[in-house]
Structure 1
């Protein structure tokens, strides 16, 4: 995905995610990079409201040398949010996953832990709108740099006061955001007029800081 001409290398960037929950989908082999096997699955993370987020995770085989976790096992995961483009027919789809760098099995500690900290820059003009219930919302795509001249493009969403503030941020603005990684089900209108349930993965912003 194109960074829109923004020079990411001139900035310093951070990307951290911490999740505590239970394994929802079993880890299955996905691919191999430089001789290391990688596995994909999903984790169920409860919210304080009682709802849950079902979040995609990816981890290397070296983290599983002590044994493969089972569905329902409690896990605390630490890593980064990563994105990549996946071809779907003639279109390209942005895929988001929690790339895990450390696994703590057993007790989750805080059953509702879902924390994301990102520093990057705005790569598309933010989109401000109102929901059907008249809630203010702003969508923004944040580019977060990582080593070897690569970048992750993270969809973020903000509400209320933060949404109003974020709507005027220009492309290239450097931002530090904190929030949670969430799954959100929405309905996509089909050509025949019917609705198709889809799941979006994004960072729900709780706080922002400029520069």
Structure 2
């Protein structure tokens, strides 16, 4: 069952470490740390993705800024309580970490596969230029009865297809993790710059559960 849980949420990513490790929390004597990687898109824009790493996987006391790494893991979420409400916090939980010397030509640097269930009605819209977009929130089962809630964004034909999904629909998606800056209004006089993380979907399939 545990292997099945790992199969439904798979991330593979190659990027440059752009921060030092910051302590996050401890579980049964095992420390977990946050570190950020920069992953280039084909457009030369870079996504900045937070990783959660165990101190037993890599020496978290070292500074690896500027080094290229290849990681495998899962895209996970948890709710953090702030401003009298919960905020969804996302990061990649690293299961494998490897240093690499250079990128091979045409090597995929940012891939994710999710097998989960639609947990909110899709939000379908068109941009002023007519581009179709659909926002999804997918619940992906994890071990010990937990679930990760992953925001996804679909484009074009995929957006039109996804707009017909119902809550509870079983789907699979392939895509990449991307970061996006936005401005959060705190009150009438105050705003705050934040970064959102989501899956940009390249392929989506609807599954008929038996």
TM-score by length of 1: 0.88
Match of 1:23 among 17, 24, 30: 17
Match status 1:116 vs 2:112 = yes
Query: What CA RMSD, in Å, does the superposition of the two structures yield over aligned residues?
Result: 2.1
Unaligned runs of 5+ in 1: 1-10
Question: After superposition, where does 1:80-99 map in structure 2 within 5 Å?
Answer: 80-99=74-93
**How far is the alpha carbon of 1:190 from its aligned partner?**
5.6
Aligned to 2:197: 201
Aligned to 1:147: 143
SS in 1 for 2:161: helix
How far apart in 2 are the matches of 1:57 and 1:149? 23
Aligned to 1:185: 181
Change (3 A) 1:203 1:182: same
**How far is the alpha carbon of 1:130 from its aligned partner?**
1.8
Aligned to 2:30: 36
- Runs of 4+ off more than 4 Å: 193-196
Report how many aligned residue pairs link the two structures: 201
SS in 1 for 2:57: helix
Match status 1:130 vs 2:138 = no
TM-score by length of 2: 0.88
SS in 1 for 2:144: coil
How far apart in 1 are the matches of 2:60 and 2:153? 37
